[in-house]
Amino acid sequence: MDQNSFYTLANGVKLPVLGFGTWQSPNGEVATNAVKTALEIGYRHIDTAAAYGNEESVGAGLAASGLAREDVFLTTKLWNKDHGYDQTLAAFEMSLARLKTRYLDLYLIHWPIAHERRTDWKDTLLGTWNAMIKLYKDGRIRAIGVSNFRPHHLEHLIRNTSVTPMVNQIEYHPGFWQKYVVDFCRDLGIQIQAWSPMAQGRVFNLPLLKELSAKYNKSIAQICIRWELQKGVNPLPKSVTAARIKENFSVFDFTISDEDIAKIDALPESGATGYDPDSFIYPS
């Protein structure tokens, strides 16, 4: 595996193995420069979302890089208030306009609809997914998927529509890697992406990771990213600091032993840093 390696999605689309996340990167110069720097360093996969409020800046960073659009894998996500068939189609157009692109490489449903908030979540979610299927079949999105979905959410889509999600982006890091979700997805050929691959910094206090950092002469962040890559996951590290952006990409010159992979796997459950998909209170 090297910086030019890909995962092949179920429909044959190639996804760069390491992505660049932009969550909490403020819209404006900061996000634009971070994306431009990432692309200059060698990242070819940029992940954003309507909810991040920075699609304009991500698009500006892509334009400023000078790279051809087809050389960058671009992902964004549908926000919760835009669920439903017609709403999804409209939200997609708005994201394209903000990103200044004619198509997306990957479009994700950001969150399933919380049962506690909506009694019609199943019907609404099907409307959303059918709109995404239309956009996919029309050639406006190269791949479609979901984020923060558990097996029961996925089963509902799979049983009632014609296209299985190609990606599920979930919280995934040492101490919380949702094995039951991963196993379910892999059985169906759904690629796992990792948001919060360093648990928002929480992993930096884990003694095992400090030990492995010293052993491999790599940062704890690099150990986490490399572990995720060796688990067949697509990590999306985020930074707005050039040195850290570069460090997070410098993970292709070492390999973690199978024994040490198993040690990381066996870390005690530390819990999620984000919301529970079944209890998150969504905006109305």
Alpha helix ranges (H) inside 78-234: 85-99, 121-137, 151-160, 179-187, 207-216, 220-230
- The maximal CA–CA distance of the chain, rounded, in angstroms, is 53
CA distance 147 to 53: 17
Please indicate whether residue 52 is annotated as part of the active site. Answer: yes
b/e code 256-275 from CB counts within 10 Å (16+ = b) = beeebeebbeebeeeebbee
| Candidate list 52, 136, 172, 282, residue with the active-site label | 52
Nearest to 264 by CA among 182, 177, 167: 177
Question: How many Å apart are CA 47 and CA 107, to the nearest integer?
Answer: 10
For residue 190, give Cα distances in angstroms to 9, 163, 178, 273.
7, 11, 14, 23
Distance CA 200, CA 218 (A): 18
- CA distances from residue 44 to 5, 40, 79, 257 in whole angstroms, order as listed: 10, 9, 24, 27
The residue type found at 250 is: S
CA distance 170 to 275: 11
Residue type, 278: D
> Kindly report the CA angle at 86 between 164 and 9, in degrees rounded to 5?
25
User: Annotated catalytic sites, by residue?
Assistant: 52
